[in-house]
Structure 1
Amino acid sequence: MEQLTQKLKSGEMTVQAVPWPQVTPENVLVRNHFSLVSAGTESSTVKAARASLIGKARERPQQVRQVVDVLRKQGPVQTYRAVIKKMEAYSPLGYSSAGEVIAVGGAVRDVSVGDRVACAGAMYANHAEIVSVPRNLCVKLPEEAKLELACYNTLGAIALQGIRQADLHLGESCAVIGLGLLGQLTCLMLRASGVRTLGIDIDDFAVETAQRHCCDAAWNRTTAGLAERIAAETNGSGVDAVIITAGSRSLDPINFAGQIARKKGRVVAVGAVPTGFAREPYWYKKELELRMSCSYGPGRYDLEYEEKGRDYPLAYVRWTENRNMQAFQELVHSLRIDIGYLTSHTFALDDAPKAYDMIVNRSEPFLGVVLAYDVSTALEEQRVVVRPPRPGGTVKLAFIGAGSYAQSHLLPNLPKHDGDVVNKAVMTQTGTTSKRVAERFGFEFCCSRTEDILHNDDINTVFIATRHDSHAQYVIEALKAGKHVFVEKPLCLTPEELGDIEQVYDRCRDQHLMVGFNRRFAPLAVELKSRIQQTPMSMMYRVNAGAIPEGAWAHDVELGGGRIIGEVCHFVDFLTWMCGSFPTEVHAAAMRDPHARHDTANISIVFADGSIGTICYYANGSTMLSKEYVEVYGSGLTGIITDFKELHLYAGSKPYRRKLLNQDKGQARMVAGFLQAVQEGAHPVIAPEEIFAASRVCFAALESIKNRRSIRLDDGDACVPRVGPGAGGRETCEVSATGRADSSRVASAHRIDPTRSVGSL
């Protein structure tokens, strides 16, 4: 399929072939017939991309501060990778479209293939031939609906939500400041509801258009005595409400709204304007009420609503974003509002760059700019070839998922000129990411179907770097398909998934299964482990994790597993590797949290050799403090690692210190070790039993928090591995069918084979 994209670095805009987007269970796949260019929002994005580097920095000072922070904490290498990843990415454009459903996710029940729908949402309803949209961000249309009008869906819902925030009634008056598309739609719906509508803009073309089609009166903001004219239109009292749909850095819209609103009136900010209003009209004289309008309406930015499709009860939330879209589409279809005049220009998708040039340069007057798609030919879901196939190669790998972490820490560490490792395929959630990753890291093709990877005999190794909820499924499918598997942490989200993975792996132990537990590969960690040879030892791992937004998917138990399962597994693995012994007992306590997120907790672990470790995982600390801090005590020696940039060793009379220029958490050595093991057919770099143990400890920690007691890992639900003869000449974990280990052998056989540690790589 074809999609319009832009690079942030150069501003280069192209219509290019990319794979189809993925169809998740809660999404519908739509073939676009028309999409709307939002001249205000999208032109700002395009202008920023076309600006110089200094101009970009001025436009995004917050992102500049983030870059500086990464440089300070992680060093120049990771900073460079992060910046290049962002600047070179293909950014999709557009967020309002209409078309025909061509596939539906398994959880969608009320939309069928062949239905006509209007779609909304940045990153969803893009300017592309095929889009994947969550069910609650699209609305069904009548069969005879005009899709060239229905594509105004998103802006119509935004305008309607602003009107609802203004809380206007029949016979009242409203001034609309800003008469672009959003303002015109607002005025149309206000008039249709019996509200006297006054329009204001700085552009004569917009004012004249509004005067003809949607306003009782409209003026240029520069009109002399404008406030007095508006007062005269309202019998001297002022308007009941002002809706600001303009986009401006000036304080004039918000302050002028205060001048023309009646006493105790309402001002609603819909457009992007500063709100540092003058106090006199708002507070002292009129007691005005300033309200903010949240995009399309209730449900916006709510993960449960938008991505999981969980609706709000109509009796308690009458107008959600989806119901706002429905109401707008009904107004359009019933001709209660006539929006046909809004489309001043229509371009074919291939000519989309010309449309943006016209908008940015303002080479001619415009209002609504619509992109039309050729729907006369059949579209076929297929691979997009990026470069010719390369023969040979012992490791022929593919990536399923290639988001921010993979692009920063996994893909850059693949060998670039190694004939034994061949990059074959990439599949991600969106076609634009797949295409860019394939180009940048030298993959042969990108695709949207898992069978192009898992059922491809020319691929023997799969990296899985998707969102946490899909890890277990992809691991199982890849193992069954005979692939070597590297999966980013966590391995899985539930004990049931872990049991399924173990059963599958038991039948294919000649394949490698690796989880991205990179910290055991960090050079400072390897050095520390080499200095502390005797056990038992005591360990403390403090993680200043910091808070993440309430609605983030990582908090969601179903999507991310929560932070203990999703992140703490890293640190469990590190302590297990450091002492070289399996965990036997877990006790955890979490700080009180009304949301039960358990992201500020202490987790104490007892190991089979008598070692003890504590993981202090805190989400309530200062960002000024280092993120990760490790202390290890043993053999009369104390070792301290700070953020994997600095190592301090205290033994004897003279302390030892080593500091790195760049933070190194071991990703490069981890990837190299995994690929080497696949190439040579050697034993796994991390024994699967150690991988499974990390998941069990996290499940036990949550159980301990819930029941306020210590959890023995040899009590049945989780187990201490039983050591016995294993593949590759090492001793490996044996567990009975009930999941219960033979704890009688643990005391004498608790050690993890030291030849398997990263120190020997």
Structure 2
Amino acid sequence: MQQLTQKLGSGDMVIQELPYPQVGKGMVVVKNHFSIISAGTEGSTVTAARKSLIGKAKERPQQVKQVIDTLKKQGPVQTYRAVMKKLDAYSPLGYSCAGEVLEVGEGVTEFKVGDKVACAGAGYANHAEIVAVPVNLCVRLNTDANLKDAAYNTLGAISMQGIRQADMRLGETAVVIGLGLLGQLACMILKASGIQVIGIDVSDAPVQQAIKNKVVDAAYTRDSAGIEEKINAVTSGQGADAVIIAAATSSLDPINFAGAIARKKGKVIVLGAVPTGFERDPHWYRKELELKMACSYGPGRYDLNYEEKGIDYPYAFVRWTEKRNMEAFQRLIETKAINLDYLTTHEFNFDDAPKAFDLVVKRTEPFSGIALKYDVEKEVTKQAIKVNDLKANSKVAVSFIGAGSYAQGNLLPNIPESNDVSRIGVLTNTGTSSKRVAEKFKFGFCATQEEDVLDDKTNTLFIATRHDSHAEYVLKGLKSGKNIFVEKPICLTEGELDEIITLQQKVQKPVMIGFNRRFSPFISTIKKKFGEGPMTMIYRVNAGNIPKDNWIQDMEIGGGRIIGEACHFIDLLTFINGSLPKTVTAMALPDPNGLNDTVNISIQFENGSTGIVAYYANGSKELPKEYLEVFASGNTAILSDFKELKIYGKGKPFKNKSFNQNKGQKEMVEAFINGLLKDGQSPIPMKDIFAVTRATFKVLESIKNGSQPYAV
């Protein structure tokens, strides 16, 4: 299937052949009939992508700061890879479309194949022939629905949420500042609700458009003489009950102007992207105005449980969610309470989408809504997309399932260039990432189905998906006879671990987990100088805060930070002392969110060694992340953030310092591949992988049961 993409680095925009999207749980796959270009949101994205690197940096100071922070902590190599990954990626465009359902995923009951639907969501409702969308970002339409109008779905819901934030009553007056698509839609909906509407824009064309199509009772350009007096006259000398700002600008004029024209104790709703540093006097303070933000489509937006898991809010307690806003907008279209005909000033065939965006960026002629029309008669297949010629008869034939930021920065660049190693296929959730990864790292194809990377062409499977799918893919890979590399954690439950152990022992295929720190040259030095045997170890991890609503903190998806990351540090202590965890005890700092990510973990090892993992989420961001101390037989090693090692013993201290942080990712990948080539074995013993994983589960048990010790 084809999709419109753009590279952030070069600004190049192309329609390219990408893999058919996967039908995930709680998802529907839709064949697009129409999608709508948002001149504001998408136009600014495209314009920024076409700027120079300096221009991009000026527009994104926060991202520049992140780059500088990464440079300080990880060094230039990892920073360069992270930046280039962003700049070279194929970014999807679009977030509002309509079409018909081709497939429904597991657990979907409200849609069936053939339903007409309208879809929303950046990264989902793309400008593409086929899209996969979560159920709560998709609404069913009547069989005779006008799909071009329905494709305004996202924009309509955004406008409606702004109006809901205004909480207006029949007969009140609203001023809408900014008469682009969002502003025009807001005027329509307000007018249909019995509200007196006044429109304002800096340009005359949208003002005349609103007046001509009768979506306002009055409208003025911002520079109209006596504009405040005119609005005062229309509102009987009181001012507007609510002002909805649908503009996008860096100017403070909209927010200050809103204060001037609102009535006393009125409301100002920020629907667009404007600064809110208003002047306190004479209007905002003296009128005691209320400022409210409208969050995109409405309640549920940015909520992982709602958008990705499909868990709805109770109707009685949250009357209007983002999906219900979309449904209400579609009812307005269906009942002809609003008429969108005039909004679509241009319609392009999907093949001409780059020309449509040239119009948006260059503004060679007046426009309002721009619709992309798709060839719905075109046959769509699920075949893998060939990217490069496959290398035949290699001893190690690698495919990837999942290839996000970590894989692109630390795994893929380190696969050896060798006649003994071939790169077969890439399968990811999004066709844009799988295509780019296949191109950049010279894989034979980008896949659309699991079977494409589980067949006989592949004998070694790298799994770098989100945590909740690791166990599933490990089991599928083992059943298919593959050598397995899986990013940590290997699974999220003890039941999954037991199943993996049983199957691995049966098929005798190596399973490698991404415990990279044990492969760091710094750790190799410590091992060489300390050997094995009883020792004491302290590992302080300044992990930093991750919000509760991040997928990593979700126990069903990410497993939480103990399972998801602390396993790394338990493994490193296991490797250093040379024996397996025997018992674990853990104490967590009381946390109102119950995240258990500020915790002291005490470990007793089989050879008598003891270790402490001090995993803290409540520290300063300025403090380096990792600090390790090892004590044994009169010797002490201190490793600071994998950049500096000092070993104290007899004589002069040993010192080793590196400009680049080295956590062993390169050495880990090479060790895995070399192990397969040499004897078909994983460089990490199975007993270590399974014992460390079980120890992380026991940490959570100890926290839950009052810091009781648990045998591993």
TM-score range, shorter chain: over 0.9
Are the counterparts in 2 of residues 31 and 100 from structure 1 also a CA contact under 8 Å? yes
Residue of structure 1 equivalent to 2:501: 502
Shift of 1:210: 0.5
Residue of structure 2 equivalent to 1:55: 55
Residue of structure 2 equivalent to 1:219: 220
1:606 to 596, 601, 604: 604
Are the counterparts in 2 of residues 427 and 446 from structure 1 also a CA contact under 8 Å? yes
Residue of structure 1 equivalent to 2:321: 320
**Structure 1 SS opposite 2:40:** helix
Aligned residue type for 2:598: T
Deviations 1:651-670 (A, max 9, x none): 12322211012111001111
Shift of 1:712: 3.5
Aligned residue type for 2:326: M
Matched, 1:163 2:163: yes
Are the counterparts in 1 of residues 390 and 423 from structure 2 also a CA contact under 8 Å? no
Residue of structure 1 equivalent to 2:616: 618
Matched, 1:204 2:222: no
* Identity of matched residues, %: 58
Aligned residue type for 2:636: T
CA distance in 2, matches of 1:534, 1:472: 32
**Structure 2 SS opposite 1:573:** helix
1:531 to 529, 532, 535: 529
Shift of 1:533: 2.0
Residue of structure 2 equivalent to 1:2: 2
Residue of structure 1 equivalent to 2:409: 408
- 673-682 vs 354-363, greater mean Cα deviation: 673-682
Aligned residue type for 1:419: N
Are the counterparts in 1 of residues 28 and 105 from structure 2 also a CA contact under 8 Å? yes
Deviations 1:557-615 (A, max 9, x none): 00000000000111111011100001111000001012211000000000011000000
Deviations 1:250-303 (A, max 9, x none): 000000000000001000000000000010144432000001001000000000
Residue of structure 2 equivalent to 1:474: 473
Aligned residue type for 2:131: V
Aligned residue type for 2:12: E
CA distance in 1, matches of 2:588, 2:127: 46
Residue of structure 1 equivalent to 2:451: 451
Shift of 1:225: 0.7
Shift of 1:682: 4.1
Aligned residue type for 2:287: K
Shift of 1:490: 0.1
Matched, 1:98 2:98: yes
Aligned residue type for 1:183: G
**Structure 2 SS opposite 1:198:** strand
* Inter-CA distance 607–304: structure 2 relative to 1 (3 Å threshold): same
CA distance in 1, matches of 2:547, 2:21: 26
CA distance in 2, matches of 1:503, 1:81: 38
Matched, 1:579 2:577: yes
Shift of 1:389: 2.0
Structure 2: gaps spanning 5 or more residues: none
Deviations 1:105-138 (A, max 9, x none): 1111111111111000000100011111110001
Are the counterparts in 2 of residues 281 and 288 from structure 1 also a CA contact under 8 Å? no
CA distance in 2, matches of 1:457, 1:649: 49
Residue of structure 2 equivalent to 1:696: 694
Are the counterparts in 1 of residues 504 and 510 from structure 2 also a CA contact under 8 Å? no
CA distance in 1, matches of 2:665, 2:690: 20
CA distance in 1, matches of 2:65, 2:285: 38
Shift of 1:696: 0.8
Are the counterparts in 2 of residues 297 and 319 from structure 1 also a CA contact under 8 Å? yes
* Inter-CA distance 691–173: structure 2 relative to 1 (3 Å threshold): same
Residue of structure 2 equivalent to 1:728: none
Matched, 1:237 2:238: yes
**Structure 2 SS opposite 1:554:** helix
CA distance in 1, matches of 2:227, 2:702: 68
Are the counterparts in 1 of residues 604 and 610 from structure 2 also a CA contact under 8 Å? yes
Aligned pairs (5 A) from 1:91-130: 91-130=91-130
Aligned pairs (5 A) from 1:282-361: 282-361=283-362
Deviations 1:447-487 (A, max 9, x none): 12000111x21110000000000000000000000000000
Residue of structure 2 equivalent to 1:672: 670
Residue of structure 2 equivalent to 1:521: 519
Shift of 1:392: 2.4
CA distance in 2, matches of 1:543, 1:285: 51
Aligned residue type for 1:384: I
Aligned residue type for 1:658: N
Matched, 1:79 2:76: no
Matched, 1:591 2:592: no
Structure 1: gaps spanning 5 or more residues: 719-761
Query: Superposition RMSD on alpha carbons, in Å?
Result: 0.9
TM-score normalised to structure 1 length: 0.93
Aligned pairs (5 A) from 1:346-495: 346-416=347-417, 418-454=418-454, 456-495=455-494
Residue of structure 2 equivalent to 1:151: 151
CA distance in 2, matches of 1:36, 1:149: 9
Are the counterparts in 1 of residues 259 and 284 from structure 2 also a CA contact under 8 Å? no
Are the counterparts in 1 of residues 100 and 116 from structure 2 also a CA contact under 8 Å? yes
Deviations 1:478-513 (A, max 9, x none): 00000000000000000000011011111111x211
Are the counterparts in 1 of residues 181 and 369 from structure 2 also a CA contact under 8 Å? yes
Deviations 1:134-154 (A, max 9, x none): 100010001110101000000
CA distance in 2, matches of 1:31, 1:580: 56
Aligned residue type for 2:483: H
Aligned residue type for 1:537: M
The number of aligned residues is 711
Shift of 1:624: 0.6
CA distance in 2, matches of 1:503, 1:609: 27
CA distance in 1, matches of 2:283, 2:99: 45
TM-score normalised to structure 2 length: 0.99
CA distance in 1, matches of 2:65, 2:246: 30
Aligned residue type for 2:581: P
* Inter-CA distance 68–709: structure 2 relative to 1 (3 Å threshold): closer
Deviations 1:645-690 (A, max 9, x none): 1101111232221101211100111101111111122432001111
Deviations 1:311-357 (A, max 9, x none): 00011000000000000000001101001110000111111010010
CA distance in 2, matches of 1:542, 1:351: 56
CA distance in 2, matches of 1:307, 1:694: 30
